[in-house]
């Protein structure tokens, strides 16, 4: 079976368009040559348009989003500094674990999985922190494990209301370049993403937006850093250089990816992802199943997490889909293992591609004895996607 001819429906890595594969298929070249900057500097400038920042700067590291998490922490904080973060999924939990390994004082707000960042509770704790012990507030914008979107701007508003000076750090790994994200307007100090999600590339780049306030914090931070040193990177970038050997193939792919996004228009990118997600959610309703996200304001536009009946094992869906149909869906993680499966629909995704994933999920569930009628979810999604005939 030619599994790899089918689209993947996981929330990253995502499908890579042929034009981006071609852009990455280049020979090595001298990154110390004088014309390296001619390609590199415009890329950094255009990335600011995707992050929606004019005041911040973009730093590119050879890593994944986890490396971006580490860089955010190690460049701006000191040992035993307090950070405020909520746990509402596997990826917020992993950022908590990273902070604890760095010896930070991690104040965790435990939330039910299927909910998002607890804005009111954050506000209460920030108002109570009159001595300014909390040095950073960490938010996972799009919790990939539960398909929940959090209100980053709402978090900034309660920080401002509390007149709190903490940095706002955001994991935007599975949202940026797919869902609305406004770094400057939302007052985000550090935004982190990776190449393999909305940018549709091979894995291997941590893409980090850093505000002037966050760069200023690097001057007093004393946590150890070397590879992820923001100042080393920023100083090299200022002269059109890179502090060590760069992944030039990924840089070339990223240039092509940013061009695709900006040519489509970021508002159109957001609208496309929302429309595709609405179709997937309509199919879930037609199947008689529930989403993990508890309310519509939490719905992610890049991944949908679908709860299965209590007597069912969602792991069988992902296993059977791959074995029988050569299609990959996301499984449940952490507390949600076996309780849900996930349909990723971000990056290089169209209505028609999404229909193939919905149809496959239907076949899989019918194969496994779910009380679902073939075509029901597809028809519901078609109602969302159909354009109508206009000559």
Q: If DSSP codes are grouped into helix, strand and coil, which group holds residue 42?
A: helix
Print burial letters for 141-174: b (CB count within 10 Å at least 16), e (below 16).
Answer: bbbbbbbbbbbbebbbebbeebebebbbbbbbbb
Cα–Cα distance, 361 to 358 (Å, whole number)? 5
Residue-level pLDDT, tens digit, the chain, 391 residues: 555 789 999 999 999 999 999 999 999 988 888 889 999 999 999 999 999 999 999 999 999 999 999 999 999 999 999 999 999 999 999 999 999 999 999 999 999 999 999 999 999 999 999 999 999 999 999 999 999 999 999 999 999 999 999 999 999 999 999 999 999 999 999 999 999 999 999 999 999 999 999 999 999 999 999 999 999 999 999 999 999 999 999 999 999 999 999 999 999 999 999 999 999 999 999 999 999 999 999 999 999 999 999 999 999 999 999 999 999 999 999 999 999 999 999 999 999 999 999 999 999 999 999 999 999 999 999 999 998 876 5
Residue 210 burial (CB < 10 Å; 0-12/13-18/19+)?
Answer: buried
Domain with CATH 3.90.1150.10 in the chain: 6-13+267-385
- Cβ–Cβ < 8 Å for 279, 381: yes
What integer pLDDT is reported at residue 5 of this predicted model? 80
In 3D space, the residue among 126, 115, 147 whose CA is nearest the CA of residue 330 turns out to be 147
Q: Which of 56, 71, 59, 94 is nearest to 223 (CA)?
A: 71
Top CATH class of 6-13+267-385 equals alpha beta
- Find the angle CA(25)-CA(28)-CA(32) to the nearest 5 degrees: 135
**Topology of the domain comprising 19-263:** 3.40.640
pTM above 0.75, yes or no: yes
Give Cα 367 distance to the centre of its chain. Answer: 32
User: By the 8 A CB rule, do 338 and 314 touch?
Assistant: yes
CA 179 to each of CA 15, 72, 175, 220: distance values in angstroms, whole numbers, following the listed order: 17, 22, 5, 33
Q: How far is CA 327 from the centre of its chain?
A: 22
DSSP 280: H
Domain with CATH 3.40.640.10 in the chain: 19-263
């Amino acid at each position: 079976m030619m599994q790899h001819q089918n689209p993947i429906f996981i929330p990253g890595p995502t499908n890579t368009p042929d034009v981006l594969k071609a852009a990455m298929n280049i020979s090595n070249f001298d990154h110390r040559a004088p014309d390296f900057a001619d390609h590199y500097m415009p890329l950094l400038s255009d990335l600011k348009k995707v992050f929606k920042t004019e005041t911040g700067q973009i730093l590119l590291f050879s890593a994944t989003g986890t490396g971006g998490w580490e860089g955010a922490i190690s460049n701006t904080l000191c040992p035993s500094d307090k950070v405020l973060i909520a746990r509402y999924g596997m990826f917020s939990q992993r950022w908590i674990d990273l902070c604890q390994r760095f010896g930070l004082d991690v104040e965790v707000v435990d939330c039910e999985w299927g909910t998002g960042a607890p804005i009111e509770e954050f506000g209460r704790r920030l108002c109570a922190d009159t001595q300014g012990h909390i040095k950073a507030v960490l938010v996972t914008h799009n919790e990939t494990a539960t398909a929940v979107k959090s209100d980053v701007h709402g978090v900034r508003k309660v920080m401002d209301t509390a007149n709190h000076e903490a940095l706002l750090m955001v994991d935007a790994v599975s949202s940026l370049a797919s869902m609305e994200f406004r770094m400057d307007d939302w007052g985000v100090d550090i935004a982190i993403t990776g190449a393999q999600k909305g940018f549709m590339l091979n894995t291997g780049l941590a893409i980090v937006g850093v505000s002037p306030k966050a760069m200023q914090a690097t001057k007093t931070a004393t946590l150890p850093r070397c590879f992820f040193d923001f100042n080393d990177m920023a100083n090299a970038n200022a002269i059109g250089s890179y502090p060590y050997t760069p992944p030039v193939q990924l840089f070339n792919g990223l240039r092509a990816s940013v061009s695709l996004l900006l040519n489509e228009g970021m508002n159109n990118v957001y609208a496309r992802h929302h429309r595709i997600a609405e179709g997937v959610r309509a199919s879930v309703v037609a199947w008689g199943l529930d989403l993990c996200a508890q309310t519509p304001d939490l719905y992610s536009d890049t991944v949908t997490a679908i709860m299965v009946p209590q007597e069912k094992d969602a792991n069988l869906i992902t296993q059977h889909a791959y074995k029988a149909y050569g299609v990959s869906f996301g499984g449940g993680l952490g507390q949600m293992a076996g309780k849900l499966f996930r349909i990723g629909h971000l990056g290089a995704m169209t209505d028609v591609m999404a229909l193939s994933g919905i149809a496959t999920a239907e076949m899989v569930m019918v194969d496994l004895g779910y009380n679902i009628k073939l075509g029901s979810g597809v028809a519901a999604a078609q109602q969302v996607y159909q354009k109508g005939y206009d000559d």
